[in-house]
Amino acid sequence: MSFFELGDGEVQISQAQIQQRIQELGQQISQDYAGKQPHLICVLNGAYHFMSDLSRAISLPITVDFLAVSSYGVETKTSGEVKLVKDLSLPLSGREVILVEDIVDTGLTMNYLLSYLEGRGPNSVKVAALLSKPSRRKVEVPVAYLGFEIPDAYVYGYGLDRAHFDRNIPFISSIKS
Ligand code: IMP
Ligand code: MG
């Protein structure tokens, strides 16, 4: 922990806690999708570690794909306008899709992505999110597989950035706001 800086905020989730929870989610998904071949879609950039660990915690044949979105600047995020900056490579028709996201905050990004994916003809779409800030929600989004519920704090680490840095921190920390 020498190189990485712990924030002074109330959210502190250790590497062991993250890994333990992801194993549980992976087992749950493996049970729920038994006999099926779920298609995991990672929302870049924030979910890249979660996707990697979650996919390896699932004991089923799976396929993976990636998309990237950018909110139009931090300020306009509240508008819910999301720009797709990297599209999917594989078709969704007839697939059991699990959308893998780092954090659901207002829910606007998820809401946009869910309707985007639904339009491509999957058999089902569920959301797996590592973190959720329910007190910030503007639109309700169903999160089938949730890692941790957290209070309204800015978190970073384990894929989540702080001004583009700190994604490589192996734990999650927050700063006092
Ligand atoms: P939403 O559309 O408000 O739900 O925003 C979701 C996106 O905002 C997430 O996918 C993250 O990329 C980003 N985000 C929201 N809260 C945080 C945070 O506390 N730390 C880092 N990124 C965040
Ligand atoms: Mg994100």
| pLDDT tens readout for residues 23-64 | 999 999 999 999 999 999 999 999 999 999 999 999 999 999
Backbone phi, psi, residue 85, to 5°: -100, -15
Q: What integer pLDDT is reported at residue 74 of this predicted model?
A: 53
Q: What integer pLDDT is reported at residue 127 of this predicted model?
A: 98
Give the pLDDT band (50/70/90) at residue 76. very low
CB distance 37 to 63 below 8 Å: yes
115 CB burial (10 A radius; 0-12, 13-18, 19+)? exposed
Arithmetic mean of pLDDT over the chain: 94
Structure tokens belonging to residue 67:
């998309």
* Fold adopted by 15-174: Rossmann fold (3.40.50)
User: Which residues are designated catalytic?
Assistant: 105
Structure tokens belonging to residue 134:
């329910």
Over range 85-113, report the average pLDDT.
Answer: 97
Q: What integer pLDDT is reported at residue 80 of this predicted model?
A: 67
Over range 7-34, report the average pLDDT.
Answer: 97
Over range 154-168, report the average pLDDT.
Answer: 96
CB distance 66 to 41 below 8 Å: yes
Q: What integer pLDDT is reported at residue 79 of this predicted model?
A: 63
Ligand 1 mutation target, pool 105, 114, 160, 167, most atoms within 8 A of CB: 105
Give the pLDDT band (50/70/90) at residue 72. low
Atom in ligand 1 nearest the alpha carbon of residue 155: 19
Ligand 2 center–CA 46 separation, angstroms: 5
**CB 108 less than 6 A from any atom of ligand 1:** yes
Q: How far is CA 164 from the centre of its chain?
A: 17
Q: Which of 107, 108, 128, 110 lies closest to 118 in space, CA to CA?
A: 110
Closest ligand to C-alpha of residue 73 is: 1
Residue 73 has pLDDT above 60, yes or no: no
Q: Where are the domains of the chain?
A: 15-174
**CB 102 less than 6 A from any atom of ligand 1:** yes
Give the pLDDT band (50/70/90) at residue 5. confident
Peptide bond into 45 cis (omega under 30): yes
Residue 4 has pLDDT above 90, yes or no: no
